[in-house]
């Protein structure tokens, strides 16, 4: 297993993009990473845009970033809800500052902007939030997957295979 012994986080909030949540969740688990679903509240059920639902394992306020290697933020409307929770934003910022992998797809760039970690970073996202990321100081580009230090970004569900290959490869080096 590629990530045996590593711990990862996937963030959750209501209205997540089902594909951008489920694909990374199961891909990380199949690599052997001990993967936790983290939301604003522990043990709460969150529903995706297409109707799937998952329960959070932990509340963001209870997570020690030092114990984890990877944090994945799915898109959909969830990032707009996540960014309203200080503990969720702080978790992203702390993971990034500790050199852990922070990966965001589609609209998840909103969380990166709220965490104030975009200044000078090369990133991509869904085209609709390009201006938000540029205004937060990012150098935006239209590519399948972009890596800048420990930040990994992708545009849409179509990019999920490349996004996850890149995350797994980067996590193996930690």
Query: Residues with catalytic annotation?
Result: 106-107
Which residues contact residue 173 at a Cβ distance below 8 angstroms, ignoring those fewer than 6 apart? none
DSSP classification of residue 133? H
DSSP classification of residue 16? B
Residues 34, 40, 41, CA angle at the centre, nearest 5°?
Answer: 80
Per the CB < 8 A criterion, the answer to whether 165 and 28 are in contact is: no
What does the alpha-carbon distance between residue 67 and residue 81 come to, in Å, rounded to a whole number? 25
Both tokens assigned to 8: 């990862």
Residue 75 exposure: Cα atoms within 13 Å on the Cβ side: 23
Please, which residues bridge with residue 8 across strands?
35, 70
Longest dimension (CA), the chain: 40
């Amino acid at each position: 297993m590629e990530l045996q012994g590593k711990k990862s986080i996937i963030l959750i909030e209501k209205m997540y993009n089902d594909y951008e949540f489920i694909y990374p969740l199961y891909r990380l688990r199949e690599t052997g990473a001990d993967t936790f679903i983290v939301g604003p509240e522990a043990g709460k059920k969150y529903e995706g845009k297409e109707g799937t639902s998952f329960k959070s394992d932990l509340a963001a306020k209870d997570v020690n970033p030092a114990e984890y290697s990877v944090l994945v933020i799915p898109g959909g409307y969830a990032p707009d809800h996540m960014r309203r929770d200080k503990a969720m934003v702080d978790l992203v910022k702390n993971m990034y500052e500790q050199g852990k992998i922070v990966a965001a797809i589609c609209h998840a760039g909103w969380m990166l902007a709220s965490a104030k970690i975009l200044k000078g970073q090369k990133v991509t996202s869904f085209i609709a939030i390009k201006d938000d990321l540029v205004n937060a100081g990012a150098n935006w580009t239209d590519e399948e997957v972009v890596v800048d230090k420990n930040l990994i970004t992708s545009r849409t569900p179509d990019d999920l295979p490349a996004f996850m290959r890149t995350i797994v490869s980067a996590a193996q080096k930690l």
